[in-house]
Amino acid sequence: MTSGEILAELTPEEKASLCSGLDFWNLKSVTRLGLSSIMVTDGPHGLRKQAGKSDHLGIGDSVPATCFPVASAMACSFDRDLLVEVGGAIAEECLAERVSVILGPGANIKRSPLCGRNFEYFSEDPFLTGEMAAALIKGIQQKGVGTSLKHYAANNQETRRMTSDSVVDERALREIYLAGFERAVKKSGPWTVMCSYNRLNGTYACENKRLLSGILRDEWGFRGLVMTDWGAMDDRVDAVKASLDLEMPGSGGYNDMKILKALKSGVLSEGELDPVVLRIIELILASQKNLERHKGASCDMAAHHALARKAAAKSAVLLKNEGMLPIAPGKSIAVIGAFAKVPRYQGAGSSKINPTRLEGAFDALRAAGFEAEYEPGYEAAAGADMTALIEKAASLAAKKDAAIVFAGLPDEYESEGFDRSSLDMPESHNKLIEAVAAANPNTAVVLHLGAPVLLPWADKVKGILLMYLGGQASGAAAADLLSGAANPEGRLAETWPLSLEDTPPYRYYPGKGKTAEYRESIFVGYRHYDAAAKDTAYPFGYGLSYTSFEYSRLELEGASFKKGGALRAGVTVKNTGNREGAETVQFYVAAKSSAILRAPRELKEFVKVSLKPGESATVNVTLDERSFAYYNAPHARWALEGGTYTVFACSGSAGTCLGADIEVEGDGLEKALAPLREKAADYFSQGKGEFAVSGAAFEALLGRPLPPAERKPGEPFTVNDSLEDIKDTETGRQMAENFRAAAAAQAGGDPGLRLMMEKMVMEMPLRSISMLSPDLTPEKVEAVIGSINADNIGNTGNAG
């Protein structure tokens, strides 16, 4: 039967039932019509399929799978082909486990380095984000496994992620926060898109018709299925009207009944419901066909581990090298830091994979023939007194030709579910590096972490190698790079600032109460640092190599550009060093002068090229209309501002750029933005200090008044409030205590999971609390809220 024929045979009850999950990971079946239950599982940097029967939180033990480098690492590879290859390997493991859809990749922008889930996201730049996401999707889906591009959209913090309202102006939304999703959808067509938890400009993503239907489907041409993040459903009927297809996990039939009642009352029409059900049927049929084709599939886990090692090496970024690296053969080495034996190789939370094996750098260096001795220097758990361990480490370092310190961030410092409060590494890690560097001038540091940190000791060491969270083979990959068996080729996919105060959203992140105001607008990441002429620790696109490169002859085909045109640009790159290496050529576009708010330059293309010593190559790219365009909110369209633009070809390793000019014919639509010069003047006069704009200036950019950030006195509680909101009521206090205790028990001895669970419990909307306690049904939650509101009214009356 075709999907249309199946749809015609379904009863209203069956249609409503298909719109929600069977359990935490499986869709429902209609066996009489040949629809079987299919499985979706967590990703995104490997398969996380729960072993055995799933628990009600979906965090139990998972089957062994290859843990590849996380997105924050692999984005630094700037290597589309590598992402396709990794995606193919992930798909093979999905097929072997009979998994139909893997939940990823994440395409959210790194608005602030404090976001606890930044390790799951690619970049602060939307072009790079979109290209990396599209490549991973292509690799997975070309083998017949679906993906779920997430978290759509403007979900850029973990704090109050399930209830917060992201207040974003239209231009920033289009140019920064949606552009990566748009590129991935248009280039690779993910089977599914996952909506985010948060509100966007006042409306929950799950029921945001403009976001899901108007932009995603009508403008971008998306034809796949849209599902909720787990527990993100607000109003089920409004969500259907917005073209939200699948609720995950199910609500025990509660929301299915809402669909049925709305259908019977006429609030919801079959014309609105049927397209939703049809997309679910089509996903199930496509999955069934593919799983049948790959029945009995297996995969080569050893080959996947080798690929994970290659990916980690290609993604690592050499931040500093004063001639110390690679380590010369025959040198004695002090290998220091607990991460040298057991690296921190992935983030905490729903993406945590059970690796097939794990390699540490110390063992890999010994296997490579180095004379190496080890001292832990610190304990994995932060906070304990490490003085004795540091002293022993420094003593060992003083006896060796070189010292390598492995440090970074433990799980409890960054995780899904909560944001960091500072950019600091653990004090014990910083003190250890300082002590070792004082004992041995030939000291290098290897960093294992998911996001930028401050490096107060950077000028005291001779080398810094950034591995990010490099997956299960990151230790062996680090050894390959330290020994020279591999040449560093990663380039930073995000800016490393000199201080937290320098970050553009410093004053506004993560927001207050109900809202998160994106007052920095388009000035995210390097767009801000360039505009404010601020120094950084390490800029976007930066990364060193063991060889050197020279750029020459940047040429543009043509002297002018018109709407709908294409511009070919080419530059010659030469390896001027004595060993083979890979260079990422980054192409930026900049308007020489502009009447509107614009970043000084924006990444519009990149090409990675490998060259042997003395070898040259011409790198060519094609720039299209979007390469020069901006989003004109008053006219609700992409527009071209006329004038002279410079196309730059930049080297992240040499720190040089070549430029060539092109005349662009504009459309004149920028005249509609002229009033912002006066009304949003703060944006045109930013200096090197903290980024700051007035509420009035932000309102001018938004085109509407700012929504209230705090609850009104006496405002009734609703199902969209959290335990954090009701904790000062008697009932809320008791519930918070009970759920906190249950969360701690569920997490066991995992500190990262414990912190995530506690934050999640307190900040989850009450409508989703049944995920934590299935016995607390939606009906019971509504009764509890009614009781709390009645008590508050009574107390207010007595007080008066």
Q: Which residues are tagged catalytic?
A: 229
d(CA 719, CA 25): 24
d(CA 507, CA 692): 7
Beta strands of 512-636 (E only): which ranges?
A: 515-517, 549-556, 560-561, 567-575, 581-591, 602-611, 616-623, 630-632
Compute φ and ψ for 617, nearest 5 degrees: -150, 145
> Any bridge partners for residue 35, and if so which?
30
d(CA 399, CA 334): 8
Contact 336, 403 (CB under 8 A): yes
d(CA 111, CA 523): 9
Virtual CA dihedral for 717, 718, 721, 727, nearest 10 degrees? 40
Any idea what DSSP says for residue 509?
A: S
Residue type, 257: M
Contact 577, 546 (CB under 8 A): yes
Residue entry with tokens 């009508």? 218
Residue type, 373: E
Helix (H/G/I), strand (E/B), else coil: 551: strand
Instruction: List the structure tokens of 250.
Output: 């199910």
Helix (H) or strand (E) holding 601, with range, is none
Q: Which residues contact 560 (CB under 8 A, 6 or more apart)?
A: 662, 663, 664, 665
How is 487-500 classified by DSSP, letter by letter?
A: ------SS-B-S-G
Cβ count near 653 (within 10 Å): 21
Among the listed residues 336, 443, 340, the one whose alpha carbon sits nearest the alpha carbon of residue 391? 336
Residue type, 130: G
Helix (H/G/I), strand (E/B), else coil: 438: helix
Helix (H/G/I), strand (E/B), else coil: 228: strand
> Any bridge partners for residue 581, and if so which?
611
Instruction: List the structure tokens of 18.
Output: 């298909």
d(CA 757, CA 776): 18
d(CA 178, CA 220): 11
How is 83-105 classified by DSSP, letter by letter?
A: HHHHHHHHHHHHHHTT--EEE--
Instruction: List the structure tokens of 307.
Output: 């690929």
Residue type, 534: K
CA angle 310-311-317, nearest 5°? 105
d(CA 159, CA 409): 19
Among the listed residues 401, 398, 390, the one whose alpha carbon sits nearest the alpha carbon of residue 429? 390
Among the listed residues 476, 425, 421, 422, the one whose alpha carbon sits nearest the alpha carbon of residue 447? 425
Compute φ and ψ for 781, nearest 5 degrees: -60, -45
CA angle 710-711-717, nearest 5°? 150
**CA of residue 721 relative to chain centroid, distance:** 26
